[in-house]
């Protein structure tokens, strides 16, 4: 019999706040955390971003902060919050615990500062630049913070990174390699050079005059692109029988995971690849499409991506996706790249726990090419909600889907 995996803790550092109840309430009200970029650096063009309000002094001493990039600082904070939320005392044998992190771009702030020192000011580059900028630094810092000696790994798979981290952590628990995992993702790359590179691809949303919070508009005819964001999201995963034995609060169970490749195009998404991924995740969970009532979609608000994902959903659930309601929460928190899958999995778990569906915000003119059952504007009650799917579709054609179920059944 397959070992069931419970989600017992969630920690967030997000553009919508750092407290679970506050974040979910804002999501249900359709409140956006997207703002105009405050930037006084040369070459910084107008942009809207999902920035977080984060003070590392709440989590690190001044001495500890030496050589710790912003991405690792937020990862440690969110992981600590998740453990506290789970009320989980780690076992004496910490080899039974794993740290699984998704981080696509690593310590961008450390790299950016190093380049500035070398090319602009001619000053000394810090010898800590390498260790601060490593993509696996967040995983290392979490492991060291809690003395965890089990697997400590990072997945760098663009926008699918933390969804894959969660899925692989679930597999490790299922297979008996570990009993508990701290799994999720972190990203911190709101820097002029990186934003400018994305602007050059012409995929970023245009600043919206006096209403930058409305810039990200998935499924709207007038959508102009995605909004880059930063943050961290971590979940505590453990064997369901262990969680029940200690009387833990269980948000949901993580029952299905699949990762598949489009093998078609480096940036353009592919309907067939997404269909394969979702079907494989549902099969892993032992569920049919008819048993899944909610999809937290990848929904980035790009012209091509939104249509492709809706076509994929229609191929599985049928024209108009009867029985499946869909929303894109990136409309409110932006796209955290490697950390997005973790944040959206957390939101999906909260939706199942509260039996409420968060909406897609800012869509005033629905695109007729995105024919699915949308949740628009504000969230809705879903008293019968039992199962949901969360999608993460990445550049490189790497797709990941997670299937979660409410608990108790």
DSSP letter string over 3-24?
A: PPEEEEEEEEEBTTBS-HHHHH
Q: Is 298 assigned a catalytic role?
A: yes
Any idea where the domains of the chain sit in the sequence?
A: 5-245, 256-405
11 and 79 Cβ atoms separated by less than 8 Å: yes
* The one catalytic residue among 141, 333, 335, 374: 335
Q: What is the pLDDT tens value at each position of the chain, 409 positions in all?
A: 789 999 999 999 999 999 999 999 999 999 999 999 876 655 667 899 999 999 999 999 998 898 999 999 999 999 999 999 999 999 999 999 999 999 999 988 877 777 777 787 778 878 888 888 899 999 999 999 999 999 999 999 999 999 999 999 999 999 999 999 999 999 999 998 899 899 999 999 988 777 999 999 999 999 999 999 999 999 999 999 999 999 999 999 999 999 999 999 999 999 999 999 999 999 999 999 999 999 999 999 999 999 999 999 999 999 999 999 999 999 999 999 999 999 999 999 999 999 999 999 999 999 999 999 999 999 999 999 999 999 999 999 999 999 999 999 8
390 and 345 Cβ atoms separated by less than 8 Å: yes
pLDDT for the residue 42 = 54
* Token pair 């970023």 in the structure block, residue: 204
pLDDT for the residue 45 = 74
Q: Which two tokens stand for residue 140?
A: 């290392």
Q: End-to-end CA distance of the chain, in Å?
A: 17
CATH class in words for 5-245: alpha beta
* The one catalytic residue among 298, 353, 354, 374: 298
Cα within 13 Å of Cα(113), Cβ side: 16
Q: β-strands 252-261, 5-13: how paired? A: antiparallel
pLDDT for the residue 41 = 57
Q: Which residues contact 45 (CB under 8 A, 6 or more apart)?
A: 192, 195, 196, 199
Q: Which of the following CATH numbers is that of domain 256-405: 3.40.640.10, 3.40.47.10, 3.40.630.10, 3.40.50.1010?
A: 3.40.47.10
* The one catalytic residue among 103, 159, 216, 363: 159
pLDDT for the residue 121 = 78
pLDDT for the residue 112 = 77
Whether 5-245 and 256-405 share one fold: the answer is yes
Distance of CA 315 to the CA centre of its chain: 25
* Token pair 């942009």 in the structure block, residue: 47
**Bridge partner list, 101:** 154, 184
113 and 157 Cβ atoms separated by less than 8 Å: no
Q: Which two tokens stand for residue 146?
A: 């809690």
Q: Is 159 assigned a catalytic role?
A: yes
Cis amide prior to 284 (ω within 30 degrees): no
* pLDDT one-digit tens code per residue, 42-62: 566 789 999 999 999 999 999
């Amino acid at each position: 019999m397959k070992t069931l995996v419970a989600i017992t803790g969630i920690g967030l550092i997000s553009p919508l706040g750092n407290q679970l109840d506050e974040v979910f309430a804002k999501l249900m009200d359709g409140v956006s955390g997207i703002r105009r970029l405050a930037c006084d650096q040369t070459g910084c063009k107008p942009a809207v971003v999902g920035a977080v309000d984060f003070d590392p002094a709440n989590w690190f001493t001044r001495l500890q902060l030496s050589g710790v990039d912003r991405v690792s600082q937020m990862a440690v904070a969110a992981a600590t919050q998740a453990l506290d939320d789970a009320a989980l005392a780690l076992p004496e044998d910490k080899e039974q615990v794993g740290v699984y992190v998704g981080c696509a771009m690593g310590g961008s702030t450390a790299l950016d500062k190093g380049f500035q020192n070398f090319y602009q000011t001619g000053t000394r580059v810090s010898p800590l630049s390498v260790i601060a900028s490593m993509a696996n630094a967040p995983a290392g810092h979490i492991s060291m913070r809690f003395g965890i000696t089990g697997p400590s790994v990072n997945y760098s798979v663009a926008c699918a990174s933390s969804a894959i981290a969660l899925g692989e952590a679930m597999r490790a628990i299922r297979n008996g390699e570990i009993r508990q995992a701290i799994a999720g993702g972190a990203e911190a790359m709101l820097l002029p050079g990186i934003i400018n590179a994305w602007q050059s691809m012409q995929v970023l949303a245009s600043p919206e005059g006096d209403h930058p919070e409305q810039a990200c508009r998935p499924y709207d005819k007038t959508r102009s692109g995605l909004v880059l964001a930063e943050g961290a999201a971590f979940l505590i995963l453990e064997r369901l029988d262990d969680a029940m034995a200690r009387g833990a609060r269980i948000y949901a169970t993580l029952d299905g995971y699949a990762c598949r490749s489009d093998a078609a195009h480096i940036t353009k998404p592919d309907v067939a690849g997404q269909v394969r991924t979702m079907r494989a995740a549902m099969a892993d969970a032992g569920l049919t499409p008819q048993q899944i009532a909610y999809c937290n979609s990848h929904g980035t608000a790009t012209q091509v991506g939104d249509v492709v994902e809706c076509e994929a959903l229609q191929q599985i659930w049928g024209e108009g996706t009867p029985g499946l309601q869909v929303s894109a929460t990136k409309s409110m928190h932006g796209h955290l790249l490697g950390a997005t899958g973790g944040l959206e999995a957390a939101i999906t778990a909260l939706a199942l726990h509260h039996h409420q569906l968060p909406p897609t915000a800012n869509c005033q003119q629905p695109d007729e090419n995105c024919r699915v059952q949308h949740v628009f504007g504000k969230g809705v009650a879903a008293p019968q909600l039992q199962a949901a799917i969360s999608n993460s579709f990445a550049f490189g054609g790497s797709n990941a889907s997670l299937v979660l179920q409410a608990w108790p059944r």
